[in-house]
Amino acid sequence: MKHIANLICSFTLLLGAASVSATEATAPAKPDIAKGEATYTAVCASCHGSDGNSGTPANPKLSQQHPSYIVKQLQEFKLGKRANAIMSGMVAALSDADMKNIAAYLSSKNAKPGFAKEKDLVALGERIYRGGVSDRQIAACAGCHSPNGAGIPSQYPRLSGQHADYTITQLTSFRDGVRKNSLQMNQVASKLNDREIKAVADYIAGLR
């Protein structure tokens, strides 16, 4: 009986070890920041800066962005859900692991602050960003992207310090139905005119 009990115990331990091994095998691999830096440097840095702080107003700053947001955008560029000929070509050869590694690297880099430039518009931009426009059912940007533009991880992207030129382009694209990968942003931007878009974008550039 003792021999049988020992066999049962050993079998139970083996089953436990097999279960642990199976769990480890199915667990998603953690992003590799070093690999992300290498891939980013080779594929992305020429347009977005060596550390994600783009120096070109037309190209977005990516440093300190929420990794889940970056992965979502890269995947949607690859799938064609977000139309951009340049980006579609850049991400074509990237695997999901590459995207997660790049996102982890970028989220580890500190964003450099930006500055508002349009003094005549920044007050209007602040009013819309912080309070919306109630009589036109325009929601406050701060409700989703937070008062300081930090966003909400896994839900809404970081905006603070983003180039105004880039933000203007994106809001206009959302408004005009050119960019279609966020119904919520299509609905919000559809109610903004050019002056309001420019004002909000300039205010966002100075957020920190």
- Residue at 138 is within a domain: yes
Q: Measured in whole angstroms, how far is the alpha carbon of residue 177 from the centre of its chain?
A: 20
* Token duo for residue 126: 């602040």
Residues 6 or more apart whose CB falls under 8 angstroms from that of 33 comprise 101, 104, 105, 108
What DSSP letter does each residue of the chain carry, written as one string? Answer: -HHHHHHHHHHHHHHHHHHHHHHHHHSPPPP-HHHHHHHHHHHTHHHH-TTS--SSTTS---TT--HHHHHHHHHHHHHTSS--HHHHHHHTT--HHHHHHHHHHHHTSPPPP-----HHHHHHHHHHHHH-BGGGTBPPTHHHH-TTS--BTTTB---TT--HHHHHHHHHHHHTTS--S-HHHHHHHTT--HHHHHHHHHHHHT--
Q: Which of 86, 107, 128 marks a domain boundary?
A: 107
Asked whether residue 123 falls in the same domain as residue 76, the answer is no
- Residue at 28 is within a domain: no
Asked whether residue 145 falls in the same domain as residue 201, the answer is yes
pLDDT for res 10: 46
Q: Which segments of the chain have a pLDDT < 50?
A: 1-15, 17-24
In this structure, which amino acid lies at residue 203? Y
- Residue at 39 is within a domain: yes
- Residue at 4 is within a domain: no
Q: Which of 58, 76, 107 marks a domain boundary?
A: 107
Q: What is the pTM of this model?
A: 0.85
Asked whether residue 131 falls in the same domain as residue 200, the answer is yes
Asked whether residue 136 falls in the same domain as residue 190, the answer is yes
Asked whether residue 55 falls in the same domain as residue 101, the answer is yes
Give me the number of domains the chain comprises.
Answer: 2
CA distance 140 to 126: 10
- Residue at 1 is within a domain: no
pLDDT for res 120: 87
Asked whether residue 192 falls in the same domain as residue 124, the answer is yes
Q: Which of 107, 131, 148 marks a domain boundary?
A: 107
pLDDT for res 118: 87
pLDDT for res 28: 75
Domain span at residue 156 reads 119-205
- Residue at 27 is within a domain: no
User: Residue 63: which of 144, 199, 162, 142 has the closest Cα?
Assistant: 162
* Token duo for residue 138: 């325009």
- Residue at 14 is within a domain: no
- Residue at 154 is within a domain: yes
Cβ distance 57 to 164 under 8 Å? yes
Give the domain CATH number at 87.
1.10.760.10
pLDDT for res 26: 64
How many CA atoms does the CB half-sphere of 153 hold within 13 Å? 6
